Structure 1
């Protein structure tokens, strides 16, 4: 994604990767979250079709209780872990809560109103902030 943002899709990204507020880490996300406590405002996971290692079994560790606890520890207070999935998974929602997150499961559609239905879990490290008028 980073290579595309700097290369063939650079005009769409509008230089956002060069913003001094942005930090890009091209590394194994599991290693990053295990090694950096309270370092991140947001962690976005879109590494499989959902919260299990369908594409790569090794990714199961990201979605396990231990992986989610590591992700929470890597977030600053009030930080957000967002996880995309092709569908709901009540077991994953439970694991997020067991890891100490405040959790919202947001159903979204690809391509506006006509696309497939997906889920994005918004897991907050601490109490959820009050949001009014926000849309995903």
Structure 2
């Protein structure tokens, strides 16, 4: 079996090492000893975009905000699901992740970052969420490991009652707030409902037919 090769690493604000690994054509992004994502397991990240797009089917000029670039699975799924009038902003806080997307993982990303519908924002997705009311038709969060974060304590603000209130206000009526998580979280479901969202919990496999089960929340603003 081919060995893993370390292609790059960076320290998070909390002092934990985030690293990019490669084995043959397979890539892995790891936080310490924990694998955050793998290029062979994209199913749940794709579902994050597809579930939101299905809720907005038929709406023209969709404005979508994706928090977390990762390996680009959610972005590519959104591009495939939305029409030419859509506009997608991807917010990524870690410059190294963007560099990896443009560099070692360029083949994985293909032409997605150069699609005219896409704008890449280097910074905190929370800043864009708080920037204005009824600005987005969809907000998709694949930040950290979900509501139980691993990489940055400040990510908790996205999933708190205050953060969910900001997301609610940032959405247009009927807009979708969709969140990826590695595990279920009943307390988070309750916070979403208390914030005003109609909520569906969707268990989704990491792979199309195999892999760990992840959770996606689909919240709709009435």
| TM bucket normalised to smaller | 0.7 to 0.9
- Counterpart in the other structure of 1:47: 143
Deviation at 1:76, TM superposition (A): 2.0
Q: Is the 8 A contact 1:52 1:59 kept in 2?
A: no
Q: Deviations over 1:37-66 (max 9, x none)?
A: 211222221112221333321111110111
Q: How far does the alpha carbon of each residue in 1:114-135 deviate from its partner, in whole angstroms, 9 at most, with x for none?
A: 2001001111122xxxxxxxxx
1:80-123 deviation per Cα after TM superposition (whole angstroms, max 9, x unaligned): 22111111111100101111111111101112222001001111
In 1, Cα distance between the equivalents of 2:166 and 2:202? 23
* Alignment: residue pair count: 126
**3-state SS, counterpart of residue 120 of structure 2:** coil
CA 1:25–1:41 in structure 2 vs 1: closer, same or farther (change >3 Å)? Answer: farther
Measured on the aligned residues, the alpha-carbon RMSD in Å equals 1.9
Structure 1 gap ranges (5+): 127-136
Give the aligned partner of residue 195 of structure 2: 99
Inter-CA distance 64–20: structure 2 relative to 1 (3 Å threshold): same
2:185 corresponds to which residue?
Answer: 89
> Which stretches in structure 2 are left out of the alignment for 5+ residues?
1-68, 70-97
Equivalent residue, structure 1, for 2:208: 112
The reply on whether 1:125 has 2:215 as its aligned counterpart is no
Higher strand content, 1 or 2: 2
- Mapped to 2, the partners of 1:109 and 1:95 lie a distance apart of 24
Distance 1:41 1:6 in 2: 28
TM-score w.r.t. length of structure 1: 0.79
> Any idea what SS the aligned residue of 2:179 has?
strand
